Amino acid sequence: MHNLIEPWEFLAGLAVFLYGMRLLENALNQFGGATFNRFLRDQSRSPIRGVMGGTVATMCLQSSSMVGLLVLAFVGAGLLEMRNALGIVFGANLGTTFTGWLVALLGFKLNLTGVAIQLVSVGGLAVAFVKRDTRLQQYGFLVLGLGFLLLGLDFMKSSIEQLADSVSPEIFRDYHPLIYLLGAAAFTALIQSSSATMMILLSAVSAGVLPLSTAVIMVIGADLGTTSTMLLGGMAGTAGRRQVALSHFIFNLVIVAFAFLFSTPLLSLLVDVLGIKDPMYALVSFHSTMNLVGVIVFLPFVDQFAQLLKKVIKEVSGETCQFIPLVPPDVTLAAREAIDNEVKRLLMKCMWLNLRCFRIDASDVFRSEETEEFVASMEANRLPFEEAYADIKHTEDELLRYISQVQQLVEDPDSVADISRYVHAVRDSVVAAKTVKDIRHNMMQLRHSEEQWILEMGHELRHTVRHLYRNALKILGKSDAHYTVEKIKSAQDMLDELRHSLEKTVHARSMAQEQPRIELSTLLNISRAVSISSDNILEACADVMGVDRNDGHPPPGSPAPATR
């Protein structure tokens, strides 16, 4: 009966520990999700700051997987550059070692059962009797999660201590170290928690069941196993997400290879030279050291590493949406940035399609460095006109659905109003494309006319559209409200001048009773359609930048655009 109880007590401890970790993660995410999102964004201006931000965030959230998934969301949203995202990934690896230190320093010194029962009692009562979805109930979940975590740790510790009476450490000398490494990697990947693996190893080392040399090999394997979370989270995402997931795997693989090959001298350095005799402290010191060495080795080459990842996993041309796929709507900061980038991209796709209709060289309009990647993507995947328009409609549908999901998760009225402006920008952009699409055959007639004044009319029209679209792209590349409105007014004046000029020309020909091959009403329709489409482009620019095009000030409820 005694032998039957041990494995079930261990499994129960593991289950309770993992459940406690889940409650703790969810509670911390509720409390500080937006705060940590902003913290990661603000601490990601450079790879070094990214390392520090990733370390601190992981120490606080107690989950490198959660930080890693946030990074995937930010990269998918276009919120993080690859090089800075790599810094956070490196830091998250270092931050996850904090859990081991906390348990080694306190977990085995306290009466875990007594503390755990008190925490579970207080937290459970708060969850059961406090009003739902309140901050006080979230505190209850936080305390309950911590209590379950300690209770699970105590169960595992107790079961392994019982096992110590019947298991000799000598049995672990009969197998090749690689077996232990792969076994720990598989176990960690299965339970999705390197912290749980570390707790088990600390318990086994403390009880004398597991030799320190074997535990070191297994903690190396745990670092490899923890990459599975990000690999699963990134494999179906955009190229940027896949690049970050691969970077996490390569980073850990290099660390694992180094630590495995030099485990004996590194452990000897810690125990014999630095005098860390306690096996638990030696184990967590080894874990921290191997990750610190990895950060020191990789950080100077972060730019080269980022370029290598981009070569290995290239952007896929023709993706309907590049920023919002698999960016969770509930990660509101990343989601809003994804919407911003996606709406800008949709607006540029509508402008690109219109330029095709006007037979204007798009590369003569999209000339800035910021649009190089967009131009390369569009040219590499040039769709027939009707298919390109269908792609725009599909993007519109995806965007509106996604924006609706984000709006339902945002409670602040100002934030809801801020997100609503993107709905108008999406619709204005698509209307601009549809309006030009409807006069496509008329534009063809205009180009093939044999009458000089009609050809000159078409030339004037294309010249104005070219200049107006250049202004629109300049607006999207700036973040100053007054600059935006000045450019819009300048473009609007040019548009009004074009419309008056075209109408004047048409009416003059009508008064002269000339009979051109193109009906004069058709020419007026072209003028009107170009005016409506261009006006929608300008309106979309104003909505995206969060300004009122009439006065240059952000509309009520809309914060100023973030500086890029």
Q: Please name which of 425, 462, 426 lies closest in space to residue 446, comparing C-alpha atoms.
A: 462
Q: What pLDDT digit, counting tens, does each position of 93-103 carry?
A: 888 888 788 77
List the beta strands (DSSP E) in 34-95: none
Which DSSP category does 171 fall into? G
- State residue 563's pLDDT score: 34
Q: How far apart are CA 93 and CA 226, in angstroms?
A: 10
What the block records as the tokens of 333 is 């900061």
Q: How far apart are CA 322 and CA 338, in angstroms?
A: 9
Rg (CA), the chain: 31
Please tell me whether residue 23 adopts helix, strand or coil conformation. helix
pLDDT tens, the chain, 564 aa long: 344 446 777 778 778 877 877 776 667 656 555 555 666 666 667 788 888 888 887 777 666 766 776 777 677 666 677 788 888 888 888 888 887 887 777 666 556 667 778 888 888 888 888 877 677 887 888 788 878 877 876 777 677 656 545 555 555 566 788 888 988 888 888 776 777 788 788 888 887 778 888 899 999 998 888 888 777 766 655 667 778 888 889 998 999 999 999 999 999 999 888 888 888 889 999 999 999 999 999 989 988 988 888 888 766 544 577 788 767 787 777 788 889 889 999 999 999 999 988 888 888 888 887 788 888 878 777 778 888 888 898 888 889 889 988 888 877 777 787 888 899 999 999 999 999 988 888 887 777 777 777 778 778 888 888 888 888 888 887 777 777 778 788 877 877 787 777 777 767 766 665 555 556 677 778 888 888 998 899 899 888 888 776 654 444 334 434 333
Q: What pLDDT digit, counting tens, does each position of 109-118 carry?
A: 556 667 778 8
Burial of 133 per CB tally in 10 Å (0-12, 13-18, 19+): exposed
Q: Please name which of 62, 52, 64, 65 lies closest in space to residue 92, comparing C-alpha atoms.
A: 64
Q: Please name which of 132, 110, 137, 108 lies closest in space to residue 122, comparing C-alpha atoms.
A: 137
Look at the pTM and tell me if it is higher than 0.75.
no
Sign of CA dihedral 53, 58, 64, 69: negative
